[in-house]
Structure 1
């Protein structure tokens, strides 16, 4: 038996998340954005697709707008800045994925 049975528990100290708290969306303000992102990730089999990254930005932007997280630069969050070429490419890819799904569902 060890000398002090309770000492190992006192050594464990919880550490806060790197970017602070991430409150739950109790009012469902950003649920639609979250579901779109998760559906996209499922469609691309969890690959790091640009169209899904833009949906992630929409979700995080919603959370920022509803004060569910602090505002931060996209580069700090590992996401691209909003440029016309990035948005156009992702929109075209997203339309292609949606068109493929629509033809498969018929």
Structure 2
């Protein structure tokens, strides 16, 4: 039995990710940040919550520091450059 229904041959052209490869964190360098982010996303039911974005920023910063991804400006990742300043 073939995995292709109807025995049609189709050319499949995979497309690479926009930012290239994304190496796995084999040594768990950023595991804590990842787990905090995933817990936050579960808590807000995958909504675009500001507190989860800050945790995502922490996670991505950890990955950049451990050379698990290239250093990219925050605005290109859709994240704020710095935390908002509180009015006194």
Is TM more than 0.5 here? yes
State the distance in 2 between where 1:37 and 1:73 align. 20
* Structure 2: gaps of 5 or more residues: 1-6
Which consecutive segments of 4 or more residues in structure 1 shift more than 4 A? none
Does the alignment pair 1:52 with 2:72? no
Shift of 1:40: 1.1
Shift of 1:45: 2.0
Residues 6 and 84 of structure 1: is their aligned pair in 2 closer, same or farther, counting only changes over 3 Å?
closer
- Equivalent residues, number: 80
Q: Which has the larger radius of gyration?
A: 1
Does the alignment pair 1:19 with 2:13? no
Structure with bigger helix share is 1
Q: TM-score, normalised by structure 1?
A: 0.68
**Structure 2 equivalent of residue 96 of structure 1:** none
